[in-house]
Amino acid sequence: MRKENQKLLGKFKSDLQKVSCCLKGSDRNSVSAAYKLFIEYAFEMVCDRWLTLNVDEDIADGAIFIRKKNIVHNYEQYGCDFAFGDALLSYFDLVAASEPFEDIFTMLHEEFLLTGLKGEGLGQFFAAADISYLIAELILTDDSTAKHDFCDDCCGAGSLNLGMMKGRYRENPEAFKTMNIEVTDIDELACKSAFIQIVASMIAHKIPINQVRVFNSNVLTQWGKAGQLMVGLRSPDRSPVSSIKPVNLRAFEKVSALCKTSVKHTREAIAV
């Protein structure tokens, strides 16, 4: 990570610490709780932003957005709107300054949720970003179907699919308009993290992907069963340069308006 990006990462982590000050509990537990709540909040805001940028009910352009209605919203009860907004702005700044599809959350998951816990809970251990990128380079052979369709049945925070997407984008950015991404995890927080990372990069770097689907399920016991789709989108049928509505091309310049008073104000701020 570049020196400038290291500074932005430090700012983001500092803003997460401010969120934790709104919560009760030990320093370690409150930072962990703040990070989880931030993921919930960021998921909602990224969903709202993608809808604002891409879905026009008056135009039959193929854009689709589907989301389960019973997704957790614990962040709403803490009254940390200013702190969440500052952290979200810092995260967006980091995404915009980073290479497309840079993996940010995997290392934060390890730092805030998994380090020292030895895989407790769901027994999670996330692949490091460098390892994921190496695996992606091995996957992306000339005749690889992963160049057009990629599935990960235990996605974690999205490290492997992000590594593949980063490599593919370096190789051929135009290919993303026909790419389909499908990821699955048993952990709802991991599913949200993976979705945020993919879609935030799509928005920040103006990269349309044909389809992104996230399943919150156990692939060993629930594979193929109905009702497992957590969130999914299909980009508009437009050329890459015009796949985002023109009036919203500067999405991340408007992020500074996010969450300055309340969740209601935030949603008003990102509406066009």
pLDDT at residue 62 greater than cutoff 70 = yes
pLDDT: which is higher, 125 or 87 = 87
pLDDT at residue 47 greater than cutoff 90 = yes
Number of CB atoms found within 10 A of residue 225's CB: 9
pLDDT band at 267 (very low <50, low <70, confident <90, very high): low
pLDDT: which is higher, 171 or 144 = 171
Mean of the per-residue pLDDT values of the chain: 79
pLDDT band at 139 (very low <50, low <70, confident <90, very high): low
Helix 188-204 and helix 159-171, axial crossing angle in degrees, nearest 10 = 20
> DSSP letters of the chain?
--HHHHHHHHHHHHHHHHHHTTS-S-HHHHHHHHHHHHHHHHHHHHHHHHHHHH--TTS-S--EEEE-S----GGGGS--HHHHHHHHHHHHHHHHHSPTT---HHHHHIIIIITTTTTHHHH--PPPHHHHHHHHHHH--TT-GGGTEEEESS-TTTHHHHHHHHHHHHH-GGGGGG-EEEEEES-HHHHHHHHHHHHHHHHHTT---SEEEEEES-HHHHTT-TT-EEEEEE--SS-GGGSS-GGGTTGGGGGGGTTSS-HHHHHHHT--
pLDDT band at 88 (very low <50, low <70, confident <90, very high): very high
Average pLDDT over residues 12-37: 83
Q: Residue 188: which domain range?
A: 3-269
pLDDT at residue 19 greater than cutoff 70 = yes
- The conformational region for residue 218 under phi > 0 = left, psi -120 to 50 = alpha, else beta, is beta
pLDDT for 260: 46
pLDDT at residue 240 greater than cutoff 50 = no
pLDDT band at 247 (very low <50, low <70, confident <90, very high): very low
pLDDT at residue 42 greater than cutoff 70 = yes
pLDDT for 225: 76
pLDDT at residue 140 greater than cutoff 70 = no
pLDDT in tens, 72-85: 788 888 878 889 99
pLDDT for 101: 93
pLDDT: which is higher, 45 or 175 = 45
Across-strand partners of 151?
182
pLDDT: which is higher, 235 or 62 = 235
pLDDT for 214: 95
pLDDT for 167: 83
pLDDT: which is higher, 180 or 141 = 180
Least confident of 70-74, 84-88, 168-172: 70-74
**Number of compact structural domains in the chain:** 1
* Structural contact between residues 235 and 51, judged by C-beta atoms closer than 8 angstroms: no
Q: Which of 203-207, 219-223, 240-244 has the highest mean pLDDT?
A: 203-207
Question: Structure pTM?
Answer: 0.79
